[in-house]
Amino acid sequence: MNLSGTFFYFVTFILLFINPLSIYSYNSILYNETEPGFKVYRLIPYRDDILVIRLIKPINESCIEPQMDFRILYPNRTIDVIKVDYPFPEYNFCFFGSETYYRIDVERSFPNFISILYVNSTDLSSASYYILLASRTGKIISNTYIAPVPIINGELYADGYLYSHQSEEFGFIFSYYETKTIVAWSYFSQPDIDGNFHPINYGKFYLQNPSDYYSLFPGMDGSFVIVTKNSTDIQTKSNKFINPSEFTTKIYVYFVRPTMKVDGPFLLYQSAIPRLKVEFYCDTAYTSTGDMCILIMKPHGTTETHLMKISFQNSGSVSSVNKFANTMGIKSGDDIMFNYMYYGGYLVRIFRKVDSNNNRLMVQGIILDNDGNYNGTWNYPQNLILPAENSVTTYRNGTMILAYHENEYTWKLLFTDLPRFIPDGYGYDNPNIKATYPSINSNIPLTTTNINITYFLSVTASANYISIYQYNEDYPILRQSISGNSPLLSYSSDNMTINIKILESTFNQPNSLYYVVIDYNAVKDWKSNQPLMGIERNHWKFNTTNYQEIFAGDAVGQLSLTIEGTKYYESLSSYDQGRFLSQLRIDLAKSIPVDNNRLDDIKCCIYDKSQQFPKIILSLPIKSTTSQNERNVDNIIKDLDILVKEKEITPISRSNTTNLLEASFGFRRTRNFLDDLNSFKYHLIGIVIGVIILGLLYVYAKKRNPRGKNFAIFKFPLIISDLILSITFILNNGKNVPQLFIPSIIFFIIPMAISFMMSIIIILREIKKNRYFYGWFKNNTHIATLFTILASIDLEMLNILSSQVAGVMLFSAPISEKMRLYIFLGSFIGFFIDDIPRFIIQVLYRKLVVNYDIIPFLTLLTSSIILANNIISRIYHAIVYLRKKRRISLMNIIYDSNVEKSITVPQITKKKSRYSM
């Protein structure tokens, strides 16, 4: 062993002597393969504590067998054997140039997929990067083109990398050397429903020296952070550049946002020390706010190594600079790997040459606390040679894993629980959260409409989402998703507690498990304005209590497509329309959620012609169930109505079919006449009782004065009811059909104004011309005034003044025949400008609306009765008038005849004349 190795063991011995308890032991899993030659090459941890292990089988010193073999390690320590069977070009499985890595690469993909980056080409001119998306069971989902492979000095330069975001809610970034001094990058979305990726943002940045090192890692707010050394600038689509610097060493940071924006460059560090070797390892600062970089600085010509931590915010400003003491015995020739741990502190891996051929590496693991002080040593097996630096990883829960092979058939995993330098006794996997309601693993009633989160610090709204899911073995069911700036969020006076309003449809399944996911950057630190960590899935979870539903019978409801949805549906073929409706039924069942069999086939089409652009109305039958543990029909209708109306924050907006539903329409139960009667049974009972009372009053009035026009007892309340219903219809239902709203107002106000003016003219003329009426008027001014106003509704009201109903003297006004004629003519005009137009409006409204409620129905009913009454009464009046005129004519004829007889020769004279002959 050489001198440097001896010195390293000496330093380690001194550290262990000072703190002998800081040796982290491990548990192990031994796995035997069925065939020899496999080696662990890559460990990929997932958020659900599942570990994907990539194995390789070397053929020679530079190539491995062209196959993708994986082992899936589950939390219960069982292991599945997975193979992705795809004909990757074999050159992907050999070292790239003089480097010791392969062209093919593997990365975690949201949420249960594996992304395999590879190069596909038949010749130099067509070489391209592709991503093969596969499930964790090995099923191939998609194969997506990503970028061309550059040609540098006549050779393919396939040096591309995938970086997934730390939050599974975001996509990934891909970077590659376009030239040896230009790095291109593209920000891609999550895979869509078909598993394809789509570019969100792209750009380039420039290196001062060929193939200079750069760091790329995910930030808290959905962005990716790029840190470069000695770069001149980053180029985006704005083609912005900065001037070159006179300093020897400069480190810049850029922020690639998920929107079409790149912020930077921002200067993190600069030094004029010539030939200073600077390496850096950067990551998100989980235990505080912002991001951080560890700088490893090695001055030229010395054996010294200096460590410096730079903390910076997502605005690019440096918040603090701290020096770490070199207590690890690091030498200038050592290769060092820093990992910032989720619960604080740093895992430092030191790679040191142990012979002159560079083919043996001795690895040592050391733990530092948040301030860079020595905390302990991970007790690696002695003389361990690792095939790749990627054979060490950490879970989010603080468990570190080391993988290595023991022999041709056996490989081993070592597990060690690392120390936590921040408190996390609350179970949220987030050091900033103090408490929640509901608490973890608690029970809540289905009527819960508020939840809250309490932080240790003051927070404020940000851009990303707080989402509630119902647990399902096959897939999580989204129930509600609220952005950080939603009005459904409110804050306590100290801004440390967030209150969230919950829709009634969210916790709608009894005895079910729910959990809440808080995205990164859903809220920000109130003081620093920096995005905060969220809560990953399956941490904040709780159950709903049991509840037995009451039986409700089958029902049919209606949904409306949007204008865009209507156009899309009409553009489909008959076959595709059927598929659309079938998929819509399935997606609705998932959104509620309810068994598919509870929703019958969707029927199409009715057109809602009440809108300027008619929309398609769909009918959805819902079947009842006798199970008290399943949602009954009434509650399904209520939930579906809320889900559609609030579709922007419910799963309705997440599906290509349900997103085409009109939010303002919601989901409406289709009512028949019997349904309306049942809903308004008390109103109808009141109407029946009122009619009976009026009938009794009519009998009483008839008995008191048989000659009086006692039918006014029915006519008066009918006209008043028509007025009230017309006003109610205009206020409550008029705007349901915009094209009928203005006509409804016009044919309500103008006829009333005309009738009112005519009633005043008729009354004033009668006062002036009819002295008997004037005598009645002097004694009954108030009743005359009242009926003058009421006559604006219908001039027939004036006839009630002379109806002598029940022999009441108030209604014994001596109205002249001329006044009756004017009333008849005025009501005849009103028949054409009032009764008929309003009836037509009611009929059109009935045809144009989809859901017809009780108010329009009663308005149409009273309008029909009044119209029928006026038509019949006008006919009767005409008959009476004609008979009267005929009688008068007949009397005139008789009179004229009598007159004629009176001037002719008397009969006796005639006789005499005849006799004289």
Mean pLDDT of 780-805: 83
* 110 close to 118: Cβ distance less than 8 angstroms: no
Name residue, tokens 């235990």. Answer: 287
Highest average pLDDT, of 145-149, 162-166, 288-292, comes from 145-149
Residue 898 has pLDDT above 90, yes or no: no
Assign 453 a pLDDT band (cuts: 50, 70, 90). very high
Mean pLDDT of 355-361: 50
Residue 390 has pLDDT above 70, yes or no: no
How high is the pLDDT of residue 10?
42
How high is the pLDDT of residue 237?
41
How high is the pLDDT of residue 117?
92
CA distance linking residue 9 with residue 13, whole number of Å: 6
Nearest to 453 by CA among 471, 469, 439, 465: 439
Residue-wise pLDDT for 186-244, tens only, equals 888 888 777 888 888 888 888 877 767 788 888 887 788 999 886 444 444 444 444 44
How high is the pLDDT of residue 646?
94
Residue-wise pLDDT for 47-66, tens only, equals 778 889 999 998 988 899 99
Mean pLDDT of 373-378: 81
Assign 19 a pLDDT band (cuts: 50, 70, 90). very low
CA distance linking residue 63 with residue 56, whole number of Å: 10
Highest average pLDDT, of 221-230, 549-558, 572-581, comes from 572-581
CA distance linking residue 158 with residue 228, whole number of Å: 20
Report the amino acid identity of residue 650. T
* 117 close to 93: Cβ distance less than 8 angstroms: no
* Bond preceding residue 265 cis, omega within 30 of 0: yes
Q: Which residues contact 822 (CB under 8 A, 6 or more apart)?
A: 758, 762, 765
How high is the pLDDT of residue 235?
46
The values of phi and psi at residue 735, to 5°, are: -80, -5
794 vs 565, more confident: 565
Instruction: Work out whether strand 443-444 and strand 535-544 pair parallel, antiparallel, or are unpaired.
Output: parallel
Mean pLDDT of 900-912: 45
Crossing angle for the helix pair 738-769 and 781-790, nearest 10 degrees? Answer: 150
Cα–Cα separations (whole angstroms), residue 437 to 372, 451, 541, 547, 742: 37, 5, 11, 21, 51
Mean pLDDT of 479-485: 89
How high is the pLDDT of residue 240?
44
CA distance linking residue 642 with residue 265, whole number of Å: 47
How high is the pLDDT of residue 671?
65
How high is the pLDDT of residue 610?
62
Range of weakest confidence among 331-340, 388-397, 456-465, 892-901: 892-901
**For the chain, percent of residues with pLDDT exceeding 90:** 23
Mean pLDDT of 895-904: 52
Residue-wise pLDDT for 148-162, tens only, equals 988 888 777 888 888
How high is the pLDDT of residue 586?
94
Cβ neighbours around 445 below 10 Å, total: 11
Q: Output the average pLDDT for the chain.
A: 81
How high is the pLDDT of residue 8?
41
DSSP type of residue 562:
-
Range of weakest confidence among 225-234, 366-375, 592-601, 737-746: 225-234
The neighbouring-strand residues paired with 489 are 500
Assign 672 a pLDDT band (cuts: 50, 70, 90). low
Helix, strand, coil percentages, rounded to 5, for the chain: 30, 30, 35
Residue 352 has pLDDT above 70, yes or no: no
**For the chain, percent of residues with pLDDT exceeding 70:** 83
844 vs 887, more confident: 844
Mean pLDDT of 625-639: 88
Task: Tell me the HSE value of 321 on the side-chain side, using a 13 A CA sphere.
Answer: 7
Residue 385 has pLDDT above 70, yes or no: no
Question: And the tokens for 278?
Answer: 């600077």
Question: And the tokens for 89?
Answer: 């070009």
Residue-wise pLDDT for 232-261, tens only, equals 444 444 444 444 444 578 888 989 887 767
Instruction: Work out whether strand 199-206 and strand 27-32 pair parallel, antiparallel, or are unpaired.
Output: unpaired
Assign 679 a pLDDT band (cuts: 50, 70, 90). low
890 vs 662, more confident: 662
Which domains, ranges and CATH numbers included, belong to the chain? 433-544 (2.60.40.1220), 555-670 (3.30.70), 683-897 (no CATH)
Residue-wise pLDDT for 89-133, tens only, equals 988 898 876 666 788 888 887 678 899 999 987 666 678 999 999
Assign 439 a pLDDT band (cuts: 50, 70, 90). very high
CA distance linking residue 143 with residue 560, whole number of Å: 37
Question: And the tokens for 434?
Answer: 């103090």
How high is the pLDDT of residue 369?
86
Nearest to 303 by CA among 324, 279, 333, 277: 333
Assign 917 a pLDDT band (cuts: 50, 70, 90). very low
Residue 565 has pLDDT above 90, yes or no: yes
Range of weakest confidence among 7-21, 500-514, 647-661, 724-738: 7-21
211 vs 266, more confident: 266
How high is the pLDDT of residue 12?
44
* 717 close to 690: Cβ distance less than 8 angstroms: yes
892 vs 766, more confident: 766
Sheet holding 27-32: strands in order across? 27-32, 410-417, 399-405, 392-394
Highest average pLDDT, of 35-39, 365-369, 611-615, comes from 35-39
Residue-wise pLDDT for 838-853, tens only, equals 888 888 877 776 566 7
DSSP string, 799-856: GGGGS-GGG-GGG-----HHHHHHHHHHHHHHIIIIIHHHHHHHHHHHHH-SS--HHH
Range of weakest confidence among 38-47, 161-170, 878-887: 878-887
Residue-wise pLDDT for 121-158, tens only, equals 766 667 899 999 999 889 999 999 999 988 888 777 88
Residue-wise pLDDT for 296-345, tens only, equals 888 877 777 888 999 999 888 999 999 887 666 666 667 778 878 877 88
CA distance linking residue 681 with residue 382, whole number of Å: 87
DSSP type of residue 125:
G
Residue 743 has pLDDT above 80, yes or no: yes
How high is the pLDDT of residue 536?
82
The neighbouring-strand residues paired with 531 are 524
Question: And the tokens for 304?
Answer: 């010294």
How high is the pLDDT of residue 234?
45
Residue 438 has pLDDT above 70, yes or no: yes
CA distance linking residue 240 with residue 646, whole number of Å: 43
